[in-house]
């Protein structure tokens, strides 16, 4: 693993690191914030998954999470959103290929050799992080924005014993019924929609429910609201009688200004579960 940078941040350290990924068959980069408490021993972890076109850097720089995480003594991990490199498949569209991994393991050409973001985020990067840094494996939570909100919710629902809590900012809540989802799931996983279901938070909620603490924020002025479909997830939560909160935030859009506004709430929400 290579250290790209380490900067003092709210009494802790914001680092950026790269490593070779066996899952993605390329070099990958991630950000890690360690609070001051990590100098004395392992600390809980909040994973932050980013959205379309983002790298590890967007949320690390724009979300304003480090100050709130420092107050709670929580580490933050910011993975990249896809494999990258000259030999990695890509597409001219912004919403497919590099920067748009959708947190799935691709089975279709030309994506299958590299686009294994589910294995990367669920298995490989956690193993590397917990082996290298003072992090508590038993105290993890997960959040994300847009495509990353989709990833956070589906990872939490499919690995219910892994994360003590889950949250999302404007997640792609029903991708199998949205143009932000059908295109990507078909490209990465093929035409059989049965293979899509584990990667659709609404379908997972309908099938299995979710009994961990759950918080979702969605802006009412989000220009992508029709693509995100929060109402489908809300209906599924009610049908499953799942505990959780979905807040429609009046006047907010899809930007990092929206994310930063409610980041304090989300970090505090996760801290309550992580320290319970």
Kindly report, residue by residue over 255-265, the tens digit of the pLDDT. Answer: 999 999 999 99
- Kindly name the residue from 56, 114, 150, 254 that is annotated as catalytic: 254
Q: What is the pLDDT of residue 65?
A: 98
Q: What is the pLDDT of residue 34?
A: 98
244, 210 Cβ separation under 8 angstroms: yes
DSSP state of 123: I
Residue 272, classed as helix, strand or coil, is helix
Residue from 65, 60, 73 nearest 271 by CA: 73
- Kindly name the residue from 150, 174, 222, 266 that is annotated as catalytic: 222
Q: For strand 214-219 and strand 166-169, is the pairing parallel, antiparallel, or unpaired?
A: parallel
Cα 241 from Cα 113, distance rounded (Å): 40
Cα 276 from Cα 265, distance rounded (Å): 17
Is position 131 annotated as part of the catalytic site? no
Each residue of 43-94: pLDDT tens digit? 999 999 999 999 999 999 999 999 999 999 999 999 999 999 999 999 999 9
- Kindly name the residue from 146, 165, 167, 178 that is annotated as catalytic: 146
Is position 254 annotated as part of the catalytic site? yes
Q: Which residues of the chain have pLDDT under 50?
A: none
Q: What is the pLDDT of residue 155?
A: 98
Q: What is the pLDDT of residue 255?
A: 98
Is position 80 annotated as part of the catalytic site? no
Cα 172 from Cα 95, distance rounded (Å): 13
pTM of the model: 0.98
Residue 78, classed as helix, strand or coil, is strand
Cα within 13 Å of Cα(5), Cβ side: 10
Q: What is the pLDDT of residue 206?
A: 97
Cα 260 from Cα 270, distance rounded (Å): 16
Q: What is the pLDDT of residue 152?
A: 98
Q: What is the pLDDT of residue 157?
A: 98
């Amino acid at each position: 693993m290579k250290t790209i940078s380490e900067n003092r941040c709210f009494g802790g350290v914001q680092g950026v690191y790269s490593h070779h990924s066996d899952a993605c068959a390329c070099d990958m980069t991630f950000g890690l914030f360690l609070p001051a408490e990590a100098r004395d021993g392992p600390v809980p972890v909040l994973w932050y998954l980013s959205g379309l076109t983002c790298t590890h850097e967007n949320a690390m720089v724009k979300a304003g999470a480090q100050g709130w995480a420092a107050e709670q003594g929580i580490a933050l991990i910011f993975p990249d959103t896809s494999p990258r490199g000259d030999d990695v498949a890509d597409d001219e569209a912004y919403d497919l290929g590099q920067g748009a991994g959708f947190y799935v393991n691709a089975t279709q050409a030309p994506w299958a050799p590299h686009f294994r973001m589910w294995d990367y985020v669920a298995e490989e990067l956690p193993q590397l992080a917990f082996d290298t840094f003072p992090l508590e494996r038993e105290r993890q939570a997960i959040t994300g924005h847009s495509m990353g909100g989709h990833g956070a919710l589906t990872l939490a629902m499919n690995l219910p014993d892994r994360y003590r809590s889950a949250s999302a900012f404007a997640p792609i809540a029903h991708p199998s019924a949205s143009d932000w989802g059908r295109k990507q799931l078909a490209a990465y996983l093929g035409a059989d929609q049965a293979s899509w279901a584990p990667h659709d938070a609404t379908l997972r909620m309908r099938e299995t429910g979710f009994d961990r603490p759950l918080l979702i924020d969605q802006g009412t002025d989000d220009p992508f609201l029709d693509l995100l479909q929060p109402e489908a997830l809300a209906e599924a939560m009610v049908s499953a009688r799942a505990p959780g909160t979905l807040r429609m935030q009046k006047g907010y859009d899809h930007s990092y200004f929206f994310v930063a506004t409610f980041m304090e709430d989300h970090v505090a929400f996760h801290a309550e579960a992580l320290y319970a």
